[in-house]
């Protein structure tokens, strides 16, 4: 497999517990579709639905898919300010140097946000439950007696 950027040989490597095809010269890496999902699952499980929505807008590039030679398309990874390239034929994703580390950082951040949101929703649900409870209502009624 050749690097789509500098045409050097890609070598299998493990980064963040995920199998990638790594380019020693430009330090980019090729991830097969399921490998990117594994990278995400390392920190946060989006569930199957969210995984279908990886690419939002894309523009063609001059780099070619190492598997089918189709031009790779550049796209924004989820809604973040992180650009990756992908093969339209679903062969995989190209990440430039250290972009996999950024994916993990973004996922960790998302997980933290999600926990905070759940906590807030939890508290709100508990508050509503309390407001709707008979004991609270009777206390309010008692105030107006
Ligand atoms: Zn390269
Ligand atoms: Zn391809």
Instruction: Kindly give the distance from the C-alpha atom of residue 21 to the centroid of ligand 2, in angstroms, as a whole number.
Output: 14
Instruction: Please check whether residue 102 lies inside any domain of the structure.
Output: yes
pLDDT value at residue 135: 61
Q: What is the pLDDT of residue 1?
A: 92
CA max distance for the chain: 84
Structural domains in the chain (count)? 1
Cα 136 to averaged position of ligand 1 atoms, centre (Å): 66
**Which ligand lies nearest to the CA atom of residue 71 in the structure?**
2
Q: If 0-12 CB within 10 Å is exposed, 13-18 middle and 19+ buried, where does residue 65 land?
A: buried
Cα–Cα distance between 50 and 127 in angstroms, integer? 30
pLDDT for position 91? 87
Tens of each residue's pLDDT in the chain, 145 residues: 999 999 999 999 988 877 889 999 999 999 887 777 776 666 544 454 444 445 455 678 899 999 999 999 887 766 566 778 888 888 888 989 988 888 778 777 877 887 777 777 777 777 667 666 666 556 555 555 5
Query: pLDDT value at position 44?
Result: 47
Looking at residue 80, its pLDDT comes to 64
Give the distance (Å) from ligand 2 centre to CA of residue 72: 8
**Could you tell me the residue range of the domain that residue 95 belongs to?**
10-143
Tell whether 3 is covered by a domain: no
- Measured CA to CA, the distance from residue 4 to residue 66 in angstroms comes to 6
Residue 68 lies in a domain: yes
Strand, helix or coil for residue 13: strand
In a domain, 5, yes or no: no
CA distance 5 to 32: 17
Ligand 2 centre to CA of 31 (Å) is 11
Does residue 26 belong to any structural domain of this protein?
yes
CB 75 within 8 A of CB 83: yes
Q: How far is the CA of 127 from the centre of ligand 2 (A)?
A: 52
Residues, CB within 5 angstroms of ligand 1 (ion) = 3, 5-6, 8, 23, 25-26
On whether residue 90 sits in a domain, the answer given is yes
Q: How far is the CA of 72 from the centre of ligand 1 (A)?
A: 14
Strand partners, 15: 18
Residue 17 lies in a domain: yes
Beta bridge partners of 13: 20
CA-based end-to-end distance of the chain: 82
Closest ligand by atom to 7 CA: 1
């Amino acid at each position: 497999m050749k690097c789509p950027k500098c045409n050097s040989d890609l070598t299998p490597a493990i980064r963040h517990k995920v199998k990638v095809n790594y380019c020693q010269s430009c330090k980019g890496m090729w991830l097969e579709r399921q490998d990117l999902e594994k990278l995400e699952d390392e920190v946060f499980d989006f569930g199957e639905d969210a995984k279908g929505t990886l690419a939002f807008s894309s523009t063609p590039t001059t780099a070619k898919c190492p598997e089918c030679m189709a031009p790779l398309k550049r796209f924004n990874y989820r809604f973040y300010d992180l650009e990756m390239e992908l093969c339209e034929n679903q062969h995989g994703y190209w990440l430039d140097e250290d972009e996999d580390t950024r994916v993990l950082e973004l996922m960790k951040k998302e997980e933290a946000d999600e926990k905070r949101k759940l906590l807030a929703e939890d508290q709100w649900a508990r508050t509503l439950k309390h407001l709707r409870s008979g004991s609270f209502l009777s206390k309010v009624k008692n105030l107006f007696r």
